């Protein structure tokens, strides 16, 4: 079975309807429900279940099972139950099903990795556990399969499924595709977003490989563009594997074109989107991609000191810049707002709510960081362009720019006493490296590669991307997250000619994170490893690896004093609705330190950021990547003093009143005073977007900032709070 066609989001929406139907049974009674829901066999089945007939093979039960099968299984096993030759085994006439019903239950509940023989033919694919289905739904689906296409193998009871689910889990091979099942479409879109490396795709020559199917130059050029746009974010530019599996010719040629077309078309049971059946790729493009990935991956150009110095520009030399603030803006309360799809940032006055200036920057600015003084803003676009903004000028503007690669995500400055703003650092996705620059001019000074060994298997990885960088408060060094290797680098900048780097093995797939309330401990998500890593920046050692639920994504996290457990740091997640609290006080609360002490249930998965403020009693949780529009267009807010009470929903997109569009609400950010929280209403590029300002004390709407120039606003960075690491 697979959820390739609908994705988990579709199954979840369908499951919600099941829940509603089940609730109606209790209210209306069996007879009434049969009448009211004559067109809903699933509701009839629930009625029969309430009457004690759940485990019999009735027409209604078979119809209910058919619906489950079509939603969760048909993409791989086909409507006829014949499967797909070479990929997915047939269910029609399956000797495996007939011989061992219990094994079939185990496969659906726990997944299957490795060879299986059906009707004398060996299949060696991957099936994830159907964790998104209830025990009754699994029983229904299996009963449908066992009584369809000429099968007459009996039935499966809910009790049998429950017993298997509660029993021991089969041991999976390390690194198997079932380690992270249930990836939603939203998650995949987030992880596999287009790579700016594709902008230089036409510079890459055609590469062919022995044993690979023929391609024309036009097909190759088309395929490499698709790969950068659709695939590189997960599988890596070099196809060595990142958060997705490796796709090198030694692997792909053994599978063959037909086999690969199946996976590209229908999706992988490990969570790859169904590019063909979703309509994202045409049948011709599916065929092209199946052939393309059997060839050696083309190597994008490197980007070294020669290229960086050629891209480096100083518009206002340091000597010509103001020696004092030349405007009347309260720069501490300025918000630097990413206008993602226009390649700009907006500077908005937090006091007046007016736009000060719109500046052309790199594309899709991923992060903005502030200098130690709060004077300079450093922005980095996904296209690896860095811009330096001077807030002291009469009209704040860009004074320098450079480019540190072809794709990047992170920038930071030196903040330790005696080194304030002397240096800046930026980390690249491609090439895999970080660059140290002059903090006042962005002149590139030193390039350091991140290519190296993975923390777990100790294998060389050619493409370890720099995901996040923070400046230590304890030593003159930066903390650098190297995503694919799982290595955390403490880069000392006291002497960049004789640079010292402390390497700490943590966990793979490092992403973002932030400080605890003391700014001693750095907590960061290793998202696809489902862990939070804790680094003691004072001792420069790994403190803890904490298991959390699926795909934590904290941003910089949130710090509060939990009424029961003391100081905690909080993260939400892409993969589920859980909001996880981790104890951070080893001195006064040693029993809770570096442990999950509390888990709250939010609106749903697809969260990118949690936020609070030392002066606030509220915890805000966004869900912009949730497939349910009602959830993605609102935020949940918890009362820190009464966490058990659940959350209140704020209809942010409704308050924005911007008309049609996805209107995803993202990235809560407080003002300097800590009495307002700002939200981006992120709409389509050609649709109206807005920023909504909420009174933190009352949770009432305070202001809506609208302007045609606010194109796809996403991240917002308050100058004071970002400068002082307040979150």
Q: Give dist(CA 606, CA 195) in Å, integer.
A: 21
- CB neighbourhood size of 718 (10 A): 26
Residues in the chain, overall count: 727
List the beta bridge partners of residue 284: none
Residue 119: left (phi > 0), alpha (psi -120 to 50), or beta? left
The CA distance from 649 to 710, in Å, is 25
Q: Dihedral of the CA atoms 274, 278, 283, 289 (nearest 10)?
A: -40
| Strand ranges across the sheet with 500-505 | 466-471, 477-482, 487-492, 500-505
CA–CA dist 502, 691 (Å, integer): 41
Helices (H) and strands (E) in the chain, counts: 19, 37
> Is 180 annotated in the active site?
no
The torsion angles phi and psi of 522, rounded to 5 degrees, stand at: -100, 120
Is 222 among the residues known to form the active site? no
633 near 656, Cβ under 8 Å? Answer: no
| Among 1, 272, 289, 393, the one annotated catalytic | 272
Among candidate residues 127, 130, 231, 308, the one labeled active-site is 231
Phi, psi for residue 477 in degrees, rounded to 5: -155, 160
Task: Give catalytic status of residue 77 as yes or no.
Answer: no
Alpha-carbon span 250 to 260, nearest angstrom? 13
Helix axes 7-28, 41-50, angle to 10 degrees: 50
Determine contact, residues 580/560, Cβ cutoff 8 Å.
no
Residue 319 DSSP code: G
Q: Quote the CA–CA distance of 283 and 277 in Å, as a whole number.
A: 9
Scanning the structure block, which residue is given the tokens 């086909």?
78
Helix/strand/coil for 208: coil
Per the annotation, the verdict on 74 as an active-site residue is: no
699 classed as catalytic? no
3-state helix, strand, coil in the chain (%, to 5): 25, 30, 45
Closest to 138 in 3D by CA, of 71, 89, 195 = 71
Confirm if 312 and 426 have CB atoms less than 8 A apart: no
Distance CA(276)–CA(261), nearest Å, equals 9
Q: Which is nearest to 108 in space by CA: 52, 55, 158?
A: 158
Residue 683 DSSP one-character state: -
206 as an active site residue: the answer is no
In the set 45, 77, 113, 235, the catalytic residue is 235
Q: Say if residues 41 and 64 touch (Cβ distance below 8 Å).
A: yes
Q: Which of 442, 421, 609 is nearest to 514 (CA)?
A: 609
Q: Name the active-site residue from 45, 180, 222, 553.
A: 553
Q: Is 405 helix (H, G, I), strand (E, B) or coil?
A: coil
C-alpha span between 474 and 618 (Å, rounded): 29
- Of the residues 77, 113, 511, 589, only one is catalytic, namely 511
Do 574 and 551 form a contact (C-beta atoms < 8 A)? yes
Contacts of 406 (CB under 8 A, 6+ apart): 196, 197, 199, 200, 300, 301, 303, 383, 384, 428, 429, 430, 431
**Cβ distance 532 to 522 under 8 Å?**
no
Q: Do 314 and 400 form a contact (C-beta atoms < 8 A)?
A: yes
Residues forming the active site: 231, 234-235, 272, 511, 553
């Amino acid at each position: 079975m697979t959820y390739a066609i609908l994705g988990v989001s579709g199954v979840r929406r369908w499951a919600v309807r099941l829940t509603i139907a089940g609730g109606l049974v209790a209210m209306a009674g069996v007879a009434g429900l049969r009448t009211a829901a004559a067109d809903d066999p699933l509701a009839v089945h629930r009625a029969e279940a309430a009457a004690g007939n759940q485990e019999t093979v009735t027409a209604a039960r078979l119809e209910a099972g058919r619906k489950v099968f079509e939603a969760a299984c048909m993409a791989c096993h086909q409507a006829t139950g014949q499967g797909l030759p070479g990929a997915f085994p047939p269910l029609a006439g399956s000797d495996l099903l007939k011989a061992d019903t219990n094994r079939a239950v185990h496969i659906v509940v726990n997944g299957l990795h490795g060879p299986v023989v059906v009707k004398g033919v060996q299949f060696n694919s991957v099936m994830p556990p159907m964790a998104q289905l209830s025990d009754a739904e699994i029983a229904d689906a299996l009963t449908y399969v066992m009584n369809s296409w000429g099968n007459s193998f009996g039935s499966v009871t809910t009790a049998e499924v429950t017993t298997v689910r509660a029993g021991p889990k089969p041991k999976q091979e390390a690194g198997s595709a079932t380690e992270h099942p249930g990836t939603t479409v939203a998650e995949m879109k987030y992880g596999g977003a287009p790579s700016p490396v594709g902008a230089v795709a036409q510079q890459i020559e055609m590469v062919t490989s022995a044993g690979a199917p023929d391609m024309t130059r036009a097909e190759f050029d088309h395929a490499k563009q698709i790969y950068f746009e659709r695939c590189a974010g997960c599988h890596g530019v070099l196809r060595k594997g990142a958060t997705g599996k490796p796709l090198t010719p030694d692997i792909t040629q053994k599978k063959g074109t037909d086999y690969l077309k199946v996976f590209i078309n229908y999706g992988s049971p490990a969570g790859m989107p169904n590019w063909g059946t979703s309509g994202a790729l045409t049948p011709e493009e599916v065929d092209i991609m199946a052939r393309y990935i059997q060839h050696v991956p083309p190597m994008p150009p490197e980007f070294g000191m020669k290229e960086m110095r050629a891209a480096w520009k100083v518009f206002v030399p340091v000597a010509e810049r103001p020696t004092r603030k030349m405007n009347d803006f309260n720069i501490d309360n300025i918000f630097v707002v990413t206008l993602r799809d226009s390649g700009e940032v907006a500077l908005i006055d937090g006091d007046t709510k007016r736009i000060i200036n719109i500046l052309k920057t790199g594309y899709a600015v991923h992060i903005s960081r502030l200098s130690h003084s709060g004077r300079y803003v450093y922005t980095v676009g996904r296209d690896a362009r860095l811009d330096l903004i001077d807030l002291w000028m009469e009209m704040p503007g860009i004074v320098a720019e450079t480019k540190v690669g072809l794709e990047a995500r992170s920038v930071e400055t030196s903040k330790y006493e005696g080194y304030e703003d002397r240096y800046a650092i930026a980390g690249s996705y491609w090439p895999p490296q970080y660059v140290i620059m002059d903090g006042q001019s962005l002149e590139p000074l030193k390039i350091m590669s991140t290519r190296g060994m993975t923390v777990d298997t100790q294998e060389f990885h050619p493409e370890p991307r720099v995901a996040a960088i923070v400046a230590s408060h304890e030593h003159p060094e930066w903390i650098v997250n190297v995503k694919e290797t799982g290595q955390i680098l403490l880069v000392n900048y006291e002497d960049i000619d004789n640079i010292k780097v402390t390497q700490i093995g943590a966990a793979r797939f490092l992403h973002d994170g932030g400080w605890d309330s003391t700014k001693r401990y750095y907590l960061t998500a290793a998202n696809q490893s489902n862990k939070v890593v804790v680094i003691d920046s004072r001792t420069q050692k790994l403190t803890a690896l904490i298991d959390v639920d699926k795909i934590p994504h904290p941003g910089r996290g949130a710090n509060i004093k939990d009424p029961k457990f003391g100081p905690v740091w909080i993260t939400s997640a892409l993969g589920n609705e859980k909001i996880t609290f981790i104890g951070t006080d080893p001195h006064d609360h040693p029993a809770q330190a570096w442990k999950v002490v509390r888990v709250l249930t939010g609106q749903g998965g697809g969260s990118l950021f949690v936020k609070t403020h030392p002066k606030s009693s509220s915890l805000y949780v966004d869900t912009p990547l949730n497939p349910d529009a009602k959830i993605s267009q609102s935020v949940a807010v918890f009362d820190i003093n009464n966490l058990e009470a659940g959350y209140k929903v704020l209809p942010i997109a409704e308050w924005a009143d911007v008309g049609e569009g996805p209107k995803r609400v993202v990235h809560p950010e407080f003002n300097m005073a800590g009495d307002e929280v700002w939200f981006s209403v992120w709409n389509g590029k050609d649709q109206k977007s807005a920023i909504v300002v909420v009174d933190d004390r009352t949770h009432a709407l305070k202001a809506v900032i609208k302007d045609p120039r606010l194109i796809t606003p996403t991240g917002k960075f308050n100058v004071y709070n970002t400068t002082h690491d307040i979150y």
